[in-house]
Each structure stands twice: as C-alpha cells, then as structure tokens.
A and B are shown apart, each in its own frame.
Chain A
C-alpha cells in the first residue's frame, strides 16, 4: 500500500489549491464520515447558466479524503451543475489515479463526492 501515497496524493494533501471558503457563495454543503470523524464542506459559485464559476472545500480528514476533495473541486469548476450529478466513483478514482481502493479507504476517497451529490440533490429538492 506504499503506492497509496504517491506524489499526486501528497501534493494535493499538503498544498491544496482549492482549500478555503467562498463568501458569498451560491451553494454550500457539508457532511462527515462518522467512523473516522472526517468532516468536509464544499462551497460553490454558480452563474445564471448553471455553470460552476468557482469552488472551494474546507474541513479535516486523512490524505486520501483531502486530496480527493481538492481534485474533485478542481475538476468541477467550469462544469454545469446538472453534469455533476453524473459523476461516479470511477471518476473520483481516476482523478486520484487509483484503480481500486480497499472498502475502508474508498469511503475516504468518496467523501467529497458524497458531499457534492448530497448538496446538489438537496438543493434541487428544495427548489422543486
């Protein structure tokens, strides 16, 4: 499992590009992984066409969950909110450069996707 901590993971963990908060923001969502106490909040700015113009994440967690959050947030800027709903577990693993992860660490990697989707669907429901 040594290769779990490759440069890409360590770089995004130690020097995240998108860690912080957006104030004001159009959407913000948060959730946690109760088993390990990881906490993640994602902030989005969305224009009138539904395009994500800026995004940040904040929170605490292991290298995998934090690197995943940085990469996921980076990848969604410029995308339509509707398209974010189509993001899959495989997309996140691709961003991280993993073919697969054990069931425990998969939860760490997917926390950012969980927060993102939970937030978008929650907002959508509220609008409807």
Chain B
C-alpha cells in the first residue's frame, strides 16, 4: 500500500468546511483518526455477531470470542511478545499503568523503596506512582530533561545507584517528541536490579516495537492513538511477572472457582480482565493493527520523520517561534512550540478558523511545562495520513497569527 492514497481510507479527513478547506488534523498525539476498515470491523461485530465472549455455546458467541482472541494475537505479533497470555486488554495506557502500580506496586514496594520516573512523563505515568508514594511511602526520583529536550542520562546512571525497584519512562514524549534510548536504559535498569516499564502510548503508533528486544518488563499503550477505537488499551507484561502479581479488578471472567468467601484466579491473561470487556473495540483494534501492518511501521516512521523534519525547518523560520524539544536527530512527530507574541489558545483558535486542528495547553504534562518555564504550548503532531501540504497550511495559519498579534 502506498502512503499517497491513504487519505481516502479515512472518512473524517475528507470533510470540507464552508470555505472549501479540507480538514487538516494535526492532533494525532491526542488521538488518531480511524480508517474505514476499523469502523467497519466494529459495525460488523454489532450487526452480525454481537454476543458476550468466553461463555456462549451458540455460534455467534463463538465467532465473537474468536474475533476478540484473534485481535489479542495480532497485537502480540505487532509488539513481538512471546505469548498471547502476556497481552492484557485494559481501557487505555492510563489503566495499564495503574494496573501495574496497584498490583505489582502494592505487593512489591515498601516504605522507602525508590521508583524512577522522568521529568517528561505524561500524567498517566506520574499520578499512579504519586498515589503509591502517598499511600505506601515510596520515594520518587526523576531523570531530568536537558534544555535540548533529551533525558540527562548521566543523572539516570547516578539515580540507578540508589537501588530503585522499577524505572518507568515514556518511549516517546507526547510534548517534546523525544525518543529516549529505552533499550540501553532497560539494560542499565536491569543491571541495577530494577524492573523497566515503558509508557508506549506515543511510541507504539509511530515505530516498530519489539518488547523482547527492548527487554521491557511492562509495556503500556492505547488503541485510539494508533487508528483504533477509544476505550481499549494494552498492558504487556512478562509472563512470570504477571503470574506473580495479585489480581487488579475483581469480577466475572477473572476467576476460576468462586466460593462464598473466597475465589481462585483465572489463568493469564483473563486474570486481569474482569467483567465484560470492550469487545467491539478489541475487534476494532485488531483491524487497526491489520491496517498498520499493511502500510508497514517502517514506512510510517519514515513518512513521519520526513514530515517532522520539514515542519521543524519551516517552523523555525516563523518569527518569534521557539520549539520546545529536540530539533534534530531521530525524534517523534509531536512538535510543541511557543510564539512570543501569542498565547497557545489564540494560536489554536486562529488555526481552527483555517480548519486546522492543533492542541493548546500543557498536554497532560504540567511538570514538564514548569521545567521549561512556559504555562502552555501549541502542539502539532503528525501521523501517516498527514502531508507536506498540511505543514504548509500550518505555516500559512501561523503567518496569520503573526499578522494579527505580531
């Protein structure tokens, strides 16, 4: 499949506004758009095989179960996990990390134990650990972010000397676009006796992921940022670790035997999937994986890198514009910036009048904005369906902002 005719697969992106402008969606770091095949896969489930999974004896229930489990296998292959039982369906990345904090964390972390995070974490990989710090008295330390947006790895090495129990970092910053060397960081963490968790919410949609090659103990990500529906995400965990962890939510499907006063847990991965899951969404996620595979993750990375380089080069020529994050080297496609004469809300509003969607605010990373001494930034983020023409439209929009405010 060629990337040039991808647009026709995304119904929403073919919308034209009253001024004849096509929707220019530059907010895929918040959520991605969905191709027809994903929407259709979910429709098909509801129209033809809607039934609860794992219990029905009848035909459509078996088909629904089969479709749900097929998605799990597709996701397993997509991230190169060793076994499908290591793929836990959750609601999203946030829930996946909360699962780890609440089960592995509560069991294994005691007062005074250290958890290492970084200054650029999304709130999803910060608050669950803060809650543990409050409830269990664990300590948190943070890998600093350098002025150029990269992690201070010298400081990381020093922090590893403090014998952390787990290191939890983003595989790609949703604000800076920074891609930390997580494979090497995992090696270092393991040498220091710590586990390694990757917040893969931004990484999984944009580049090839091999959890075994990274040697991640946990890897969390969401479907909706990678062409899939909202309401479904994944926690990957190494099998032995998942086996050793207590259950998270209690209820149907996560049990093996139930008595009035006790229960035994189901096998992996069902042990962590209590209640009726998001069946249609899991099936939609499978269709999204099919679509990504068809295009190819390497082709997607290459396409995004080309657009991101072009965007950075053009953005740097806009008067008064400052990019927060790396401006060269391998990086993600989220590009955040400030304009010294216009507030991000006003920037986003004016771009919206050109039918261009960008994000304005702190992007769920308030401490990172504090680190760079800015209350908010404007963020443009690109995905496989974005084009160089759209970057030009962004720049024209920013020229309008400069004309009004500069």
**A interface vs B, CB < 8 Å?**
1-2, 4-5, 10, 13-14, 35-39, 60-64, 105, 108
| Nearest B residue (CB) for A39 | B375
Question: Which residues of chain A have C-beta atoms less than 8 A from B349's C-beta?
Answer: 1, 4-5, 105
Residue contact B375 to A36, C-beta cutoff 8 Å = yes
Question: Which residues of chain B have C-beta atoms less than 8 A from A13's C-beta?
Answer: 405
Question: Which residues of chain A have C-beta atoms less than 8 A from B344's C-beta?
Answer: 36, 62
Residue contact B353 to A62, C-beta cutoff 8 Å = no
Residue contact A62 to B345, C-beta cutoff 8 Å = yes
In the assembled complex, B114 has its CB within 8 A of some CB on chain A:
no
Residue A36 contacts which of B350, B352, B361, B404 (CB distance < 8 angstroms)? Answer: B361
- B338-353, CB under 8 A of A: which get 1 and which 0? 0000111110011011
Give complex CA distance A105, B369 in Å.
22
Residue contact A5 to B350, C-beta cutoff 8 Å = yes
Question: Which residues of chain B have C-beta atoms less than 8 A from A61's C-beta?
Answer: 343
| Nearest A residue (CB) for B374 | A37
Give complex CA distance A2, B342 in Å.
15
Question: Which residues of chain A have C-beta atoms less than 8 A from B360's C-beta?
Answer: 36
Question: Which residues of chain B have C-beta atoms less than 8 A from A14's C-beta?
Answer: 405
- B349-386, CB under 8 A of A: which get 1 and which 0? 11011000000111000000100000110000000000
Residue contact B346 to A5, C-beta cutoff 8 Å = yes
Q: Report the minimal beta-carbon distance from A1 to chain B, rounded to whole angstroms.
A: 5
Q: Assuming A36-B376, A39-B375, is B404 touching A5 (CB within 8 A)?
A: yes
Residue contact A37 to B375, C-beta cutoff 8 Å = yes
Give complex CA distance A39, B375 in Å.
9
Question: Which residues of chain A have C-beta atoms less than 8 A from B352's C-beta?
Answer: 1
19 contacts across the A-B interface (CB closer than 8 A): A1-B349, A1-B352, A1-B353, A2-B350, A5-B350, A13-B405, A14-B405, A36-B345, A37-B361, A37-B369, A37-B375, A37-B376, A38-B375, A60-B375, A62-B344, A62-B345, A63-B346, A64-B346, A105-B345
Give complex CA distance A39, B361 in Å.
14
Given A2-B353, A5-B349, A10-B405, output 13 extra A-B contacts at Cβ < 8 Å.
A1-B349, A1-B353, A5-B404, A10-B404, A13-B405, A14-B405, A36-B344, A36-B360, A37-B375, A62-B344, A63-B342, A63-B343, A64-B346
Give complex CA distance A63, B339 in Å.
13
| Nearest B residue (CB) for A66 | B343
- B17-57, CB under 8 A of A: which get 1 and which 0? 00000000000000000000000000000000000000000
Question: For window 52-80 of chain B, which residues contact chain A by CB distance below 8 Å?
Answer: none
| Nearest B residue (CB) for A32 | B375
Q: Report the minimal beta-carbon distance from A2 to chain B, rounded to whole angstroms.
A: 5
Q: Assuming A62-B345, A62-B346, is B362 touching A37 (CB within 8 A)?
A: yes
Question: Which residues of chain A have C-beta atoms less than 8 A from B404's C-beta?
Answer: 5, 10
Q: Assuming A5-B404, A62-B343, A62-B345, is B361 touching A35 (CB within 8 A)?
A: yes
